[in-house]
Amino acid sequence: MQRFSLRSSARSRPHECRPCFPPSGDVVSAFSFNKLVIFGVGLIGGSLARGLRERGARGRVIGVGRRLHAVERALELGVIDAGATLDDDAALAEALKGADIVLLAAPVAQTRALLERIMPHLEAQTLITDAGSTKSDVIEAARSVLGARTAQFVPGHPIAGRESSGVEAALPELYVGRNVVLCPLAENAPEAVERIAAMWREVGAVIGTMSAAQHDRVFASVSHLPHVLSFALVDQILASPDAELKLSFAAGGFRDFTRIAASSPEMWRDVCLANRSALLAELDGYTEVLAKLRAAIDAGDGAALETLFARSRAARTAWQERGGKRAADAVPDK
């Protein structure tokens, strides 16, 4: 790897104008860009970069990270063409020069600090989007930092992931058939929103839109709460005196339920705190259901248990039969 103020792989130097990610074979992408800068080249950002590469999207991808070794690893794997660290202001300025899209793919608690680092180098043509699991807090940070330039920020959330994290876990097909929710701001120009939507569509995603408030309520229920419950179950078992015995006999049910407990603790700490109001409401609702189940078990009320289990099974089966997903577009905010 050759060394520049902006660290680059040997195959593409930062001052060359030729595009990186040349089309493979006869594949020519409908989406092109000059420079995509990804803050946080892990599973989410790395999968976007790899997906664009496989589809022949023309443009250079720059990775920015907190730690040098993470940036260098992304370079070694060929996921990015050049990289910089947040503490190198000159390299950061070079990375952002001429950028048309910036993706913030870092834990949501870092959003404000990242925007503050970007702001002095933000050019008029650059659009910023994010991949955060919460939106109200992210939008508040964007408006606070960007001020009159808030129109350049298009909030987003790709609904995709794996229990593994880091750039090594990045997959070019991660977003194929998966939802990406955009939460357009009143300040956003329609063409700015469409530009970000086109980027995600290029890697196979299905685009939906929601308001920020609706987004945070929905995902507190179907994403944030399940993660909390998964972490909680593992912690409950670890707190028991015979934890090792229990874990030694754990099988498919435990594996399926706790798979997401292998997710990033830092990310999910930030999500829980950022979306606390909506998440607390969901936890309260779940606690009420648990109380009903406990009462039915205590009373030996098999009919009540079966009724609840059958209703849940039917809903889960219907969800699975329609592919386990549904686009969020045109969902009314209530």
Between CA 84 and CA 186 the distance in angstroms is 33
Token pair 């990289």 in the structure block, residue: 83
Per-residue pLDDT of 113-150, as tens digits, reads: 999 999 999 999 999 999 999 999 999 999 999 999 99
> What is the tens place of the pLDDT at every residue in 215-236?
999 999 999 999 999 999 999 9
Is the pLDDT at 250 greater than 90? The verdict is yes
**φ and ψ of 163, to 5 deg:** -70, -20
CB atoms within 10 A of CB 118: 23
Predicted pLDDT at 281: 97
Q: Which DSSP letter does residue 317 get?
A: H
Instruction: Give the global pTM.
Output: 0.83
CB-based contact 207:154 (threshold 8 Å): no
What domains appear along the chain, each with residue ranges and CATH number?
7-210 (3.40.50.720), 215-321 (1.10.3660.10)
Q: To 5 degrees, how large is the angle CA 265–CA 268–CA 274? A: 140
Q: What is the pLDDT of residues 267-307, one digit of tens each?
A: 899 999 999 999 999 999 999 999 999 999 999 999 999 99
Confidence of residue 203 (pLDDT cuts 50, 70, 90): very high
Q: Which residues contact 33 (CB under 8 A, 6 or more apart)?
A: 57, 58, 59, 100, 101, 199
Task: Decide if pLDDT at 325 tops 50.
Answer: yes
CA distance 64 to 70: 9
* Residue where the block lists tokens 């609840």: 308
pLDDT at 82: 94
Q: How far is CA 297 from CA 140, 232, 290, 305, in A?
A: 45, 21, 10, 8
Q: Which band of pLDDT confidence, cut at 50, 70 and 90, is reported for residue 199?
A: very high
In tens, the pLDDT along 154-164 reads 999 999 877 67
Q: Which residues are registered as beta bridge partners of 8? A: 82
pLDDT at 95 over 80: yes
pLDDT at 334 over 60: no
Q: What is the DSSP letter of 167?
A: G
Report residue 195 as tokens: 């530009």
- Average pLDDT (5-13) is 49
The answer on pLDDT for 101 being more than 90 is yes
* CB contact set of 256 (below 8 Å; sequence gap of 6+): none
Q: What is the dihedral of CA 89, 107, 168, 230, to 10 degrees?
A: 170
The pLDDT assigned to 25 comes to 47
For residues 82 and 67, give the distance between their C-alpha atoms in angstroms, rounded to a whole number.
Answer: 14
Q: Is 83 helix (H, G, I), strand (E, B) or coil?
A: strand
Look at residue 216 in the predicted model and tell me its pLDDT: 97
pLDDT higher than 70, residue 9: no
DSSP code, position 228: H
Q: pLDDT-based confidence at 210, cuts 50/70/90?
A: very high
pLDDT in tens, 21-76: 444 445 556 788 999 999 999 999 999 999 999 998 889 999 999 888 889 999 99
Does residue 191 contact residue 67 with C-beta atoms inside 8 Å?
A: no
- Distance between CA 276 and CA 296 in Å, rounded? 30
